[in-house]
Structure 1
Amino acid sequence: MAGASLVIGNKAYSSWSLRAWIALKQVGLGFEEILVPLDRPESAAALRAHSPSGRVPCLAHGLFRVWDSLAIIETVAEAPIGAALWPRDRALRAHARAIAAEMHSGFANLRRHLPMDLKRKPEPRAYPEEVAAEIARIEAIWAECLAAKPTGGPFLFGAFSAADAMFAPVATRFRTYAVPVSAASRAYCDAIFAHPPMQEWVAAALDEPWVIEYPRP
């Protein structure tokens, strides 16, 4: 996939951009990174110039564009370079796809009340019961995967996979808002933050000049 480009938003705030970016980095795909700062007067026009949906991320390669995080991951996984993004075992691969899709389509309350914000000093924030219920569901997903995972790594299915790419922004939310979680969940979040592509993303996020002040729900 030589000649690919990935349009992303601010690394401090764009969770969907992180999901696609870290998956591409994981498989060693070379790509041009195009960062469009979000929440600025010129942002909407700049995004529409790159993405049919006017949203990030958007992967462009040759004659096609893909403008959704999970669709980008699936597109890359179809290429030989991306074969390892999903577990090899058929049952594990089905499980990984199911939880990735659940993350993609669900947890709206978590997103609204605890937005990704890598510039925020970690401290607790109060959240309603519906967020607590979604946090409990995420911890249940992680616990099931981690208890049954193959050897070969600290991630949900052993080695880093597309499922981990989808849940990486959740690890940042848990840390940013000092969410109380189990020891197993905390160790998993630590593994996400220790992953070299994640360290690269966070370092770049902290260097960004832009600050978006999220209103408290």
Structure 2
Amino acid sequence: MKLVIGDKNYSSWSMRPWVLMTHFGLPFEEVLIELDQPGTKDAILAFSSSGKVPCLVTDEAVAVWDSLAIAETLAERFPQHAMWPRDANVRAQARSVSAEMHSGFGELRTHMPMAIRTIKPGAGATPGALADVARIDALWCACLDASGGPFLFGEFSIADAMFAPVVMRFNSYQPPLSAQAAAYAQRVTALPAVAAWIDAARRETHRIGHDELDDSAA
């Protein structure tokens, strides 16, 4: 399989399937295309008709784009890994949580964009973004209370992969979180697959200019 992604520092959508596949030990070839370059769109179109990352190219050369579609495809193809919870009712909750992340939290996305090398405590703290943070905090706590942790539905799942880029945003902008949510964010950050993504992001040299550290602080 090939996984076509954007810069690890910036591409929140790419992070989700990459972390999922890495965590569960699925073999794949990474194809990284730098974003916001003159040839970016054409390079992505060679793999995906959407013109966007991520895109999974299966062993049968079938292109699957959109992070949630990729996650669902992987869960179907590798059922032995239980990427969704086994229990049908719990699985329904995990899908709901993942879909809410997939389609919502626009204020957070706008005002606290993922830029892993950036550390700007308090930046982007608009009322709308903080409302999104509060909803995410409540959602995480409800899931952790029900499952007992350490991840949202017990073992690491697609739901945790969907929220991994949110954890990156919280690490960068450090909005107020409950103790339970902050501890969960720390566990996600320490997960080997996430730590590997962060390390690679920090070693990238390409910049697209938004929400980066000042050169003097890099």
Q: TM-score range by the shorter chain?
A: over 0.9
Q: Aligned pair 1:50/2:77, yes or no?
A: no
- Structure 2's unaligned 5+ residue stretches are 213-218
Report the CA distance between 1:135 and its aligned residue: 1.0
Aligned residues with identical type, % of pairs: 48
Identify the residue that residue 175 of structure 1 maps to in structure 2.
171
CA deviations over 1:138-168 (Å, ceiling 9, x no partner): 1111010011114xx5110111000000000
- 1:160 pairs with one of 156, 161, 164: 156
Identify the residue that residue 13 of structure 1 maps to in structure 2.
10
Q: Could you tell me how far apart the structure 1 residues matched to 2:211 and 2:114 are?
A: 13
Give the TM-score of the pair, scaled to structure 1: 0.93
Report the CA distance between 1:63 and its aligned residue: 3.3
Identify the residue that residue 138 of structure 1 maps to in structure 2.
136
Q: Could you tell me how far apart the structure 1 residues matched to 2:9 and 2:25 are?
A: 22
Q: Could you tell me how far apart the structure 1 residues matched to 2:7 and 2:152 are?
A: 26
CA deviations over 1:39-70 (Å, ceiling 9, x no partner): 11111111111111000000001131101100
Q: Is the 8 A contact 2:118 2:211 kept in 1?
A: no
Q: Could you tell me how far apart the structure 1 residues matched to 2:36 and 2:78 are?
A: 36
Give the total of aligned pairs: 211
- Structure 1's unaligned 5+ residue stretches are none
Q: Could you tell me how far apart the structure 2 residues matched to 1:45 and 1:72 are?
A: 21
Look up the equivalent residue of 1:158 and give its one-letter code.
G
Q: Is the 8 A contact 1:70 1:104 kept in 2?
A: yes
Identify the residue that residue 40 of structure 1 maps to in structure 2.
37
Q: CA RMSD in A?
A: 1.5
Q: Is the 8 A contact 1:123 1:176 kept in 2?
A: yes
Q: Is the 8 A contact 1:122 1:175 kept in 2?
A: no
Look up the equivalent residue of 1:43 and give its one-letter code.
T
Identify the residue that residue 25 of structure 1 maps to in structure 2.
22
Secondary structure of the corresponding residue to residue 46 of structure 2: helix
Aligned pairs for 1:8-157 within 5 A: 8-61=5-58, 62-81=60-79, 83-150=81-148, 153-157=149-153
Q: Could you tell me how far apart the structure 1 residues matched to 2:154 and 2:63 are?
A: 31
Give the TM-score of the pair, scaled to structure 2: 0.93
Look up the equivalent residue of 1:37 and give its one-letter code.
E
- 2:180 pairs with one of 184, 194, 205: 184
Q: Is the 8 A contact 1:76 1:82 kept in 2?
A: no
Report the CA distance between 1:83 and its aligned residue: 4.0
Look up the equivalent residue of 1:46 and give its one-letter code.
A
Look up the equivalent residue of 1:183 and give its one-letter code.
A
